[in-house]
């Protein structure tokens, strides 16, 4: 339990099957989570395991809250969920966001609340069963290799580049993606400026290549972001939204009311433009 950003350890005493709900505070914005999601946001260690008493030592990020609720029946559909984990006394786990997952999606799930069920097993272990999507993961302490997978700046840059681009999200989510990319690029520049790293030519070349790829992805997202916030027509409000079905219906009405010769001319102009392109 070396993470300085987490709160002081708190002992949670459980006497029956219980639901732990980790949730983002309402007053915290999604942008505040960019730095926090670079590491784990919660940590649990089992300190007691008995049929009628379970003790768990918990630390969470100050932006989060932990609610203890009675366990309720839930769906058996585990599609897309993180796998459950079994822990004995002295063992624990950390809560990480999945590598390559969009920060907007991770923040949205965290705002809704990440729930995992805590129950006692016959072999004396405690089972932690996550009831959330695999964009968040419970990682056993002995399997936490993120600190040993190379510099965190390079790992974060690679995870952003490996992330699938989702352009159907709103403008705020696109801006969040841009902010994350710029933050990681700044971390890479500080990493290279360190004299101890500047001597490693291969490392500097890798950082330079990653920075170039991040810049290209930033330019692509910026283009879609500006298209999402710009005003398409000065005759309408800036927040006016019109879907494709409405546009197709309007076009059909224009075709019905316009003379046949005009429709033919429009079709011919469209074909000529297509052939030129």
Residue 259 domain-assigned (yes or no) = no
Same domain, 107 and 203: no
Residue 242 domain-assigned (yes or no) = no
Same domain, 167 and 121: no
When divided into structural domains, the chain yields a total of: 2
Query: Which structural domain range is residue 175 located in?
Result: 149-229
Same domain, 120 and 33: yes
25, 66 in Cβ contact below 8 A? no
Residue 264 domain-assigned (yes or no) = no
Mean per-residue pLDDT for 207-222?
88
23, 110 in Cβ contact below 8 A? yes
List the one residue out of 54, 76, 75, 67 whose CA is nearest residue 19.
Answer: 67
| Confidence grade of residue 1 (pLDDT, cut at 50, 70, 90) | very low
Residue 169 in this model has a pLDDT that exceeds 60: yes
Residue 33: CB partners within 8 Å, gap ≥ 6? 24, 63, 103, 106, 107, 110
Same domain, 138 and 196: no
pTM above 0.75, yes or no: no
What's the pLDDT at 242?
A: 59
Greater confidence, 224 or 186? Answer: 186
Residue 125: CB partners within 8 Å, gap ≥ 6? 49, 86, 87, 88
What's the pLDDT at 115?
A: 92
> Considering 94, 118, 146, which residue would you say is the last residue of a domain?
146
| Confidence grade of residue 229 (pLDDT, cut at 50, 70, 90) | confident
Mean per-residue pLDDT for 43-54?
90
| Confidence grade of residue 82 (pLDDT, cut at 50, 70, 90) | low
Residue 235 domain-assigned (yes or no) = no
86, 44 in Cβ contact below 8 A? no
Give the tokens for residue 22: 């980790």
Residue 239 domain-assigned (yes or no) = no
Percent of the chain's residues with pLDDT above 90: 17
Residue 33 domain-assigned (yes or no) = yes
Same domain, 201 and 224: yes
Most confident of 60-69, 81-90, 170-179: 60-69
256-274 burial, b at 16+ Cβ within 10 Å, e below that, comes to: eeeeeeeeeeeeeeeeeee
C-alpha 82/C-alpha 79 separation (Å) is 9
C-alpha 151/C-alpha 153 separation (Å) is 5
Residue 235 in this model has a pLDDT that exceeds 60: no
| Confidence grade of residue 51 (pLDDT, cut at 50, 70, 90) | confident
Find the helix or strand (DSSP H, E) in which 188 lies.
helix 171-193
pLDDT for 106-161, tens place per residue? 888 888 999 999 999 888 899 999 998 888 889 888 887 665 556 778 878 887 88
- Look up residue 199 and give its DSSP letter: T
Q: What is the dihedral of CA 187, 165, 37, 17, to 10 degrees?
A: -170
pLDDT for 17-38, tens place per residue? 899 999 988 887 777 776 667 6
208, 258 in Cβ contact below 8 A? no
């Amino acid at each position: 339990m070396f993470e300085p950003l987490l709160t002081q350890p708190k002992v949670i005493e459980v006497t029956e099957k219980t639901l732990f709900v980790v949730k983002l505070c309402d007053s915290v914005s999604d942008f505040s989570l960019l730095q926090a999601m670079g590491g784990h946001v919660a940590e649990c260690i089992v300190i007691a395991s008995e049929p009628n008493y379970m003790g768990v030592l918990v630390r969470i990020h100050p932006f989060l809250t932990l609610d203890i609720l009675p366990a309720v029946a839930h769906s058996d559909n585990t599609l897309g969920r993180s796998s459950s984990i079994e822990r004995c006394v002295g063992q624990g786990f950390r809560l990480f966001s999945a590598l390559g997952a969009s920060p907007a999606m991770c923040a949205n799930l965290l705002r809704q609340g990440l729930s995992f069920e805590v129950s006692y097993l016959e072999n004396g272990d405690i089972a932690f069963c996550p009831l959330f999507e695999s964009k968040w993961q419970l990682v056993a302490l002995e399997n936490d290799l993120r600190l040993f997978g190379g510099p965190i700046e390079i790992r974060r840059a690679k995870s952003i580049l490996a992330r699938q681009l989702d352009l159907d999200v709103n403008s705020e989510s696109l801006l969040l993606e841009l902010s994350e990319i710029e933050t990681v690029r700044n971390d890479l520049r500080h990493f290279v400026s360190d004299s101890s790293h500047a001597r490693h030519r291969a490392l500097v070349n890798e950082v330079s290549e990653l920075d170039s790829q991040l810049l290209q992805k930033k330019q692509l997202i910026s283009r879609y972001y500006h298209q999402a916030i710009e005003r398409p027509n000065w005759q309408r409000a800036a927040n006016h939204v019109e879907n494709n079905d409405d546009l197709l219906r309007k076009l059909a009405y224009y075709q019905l009311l316009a003379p046949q010769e005009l429709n033919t001319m429009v079709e011919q102009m469209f074909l000529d433009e297509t052939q030129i392109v």
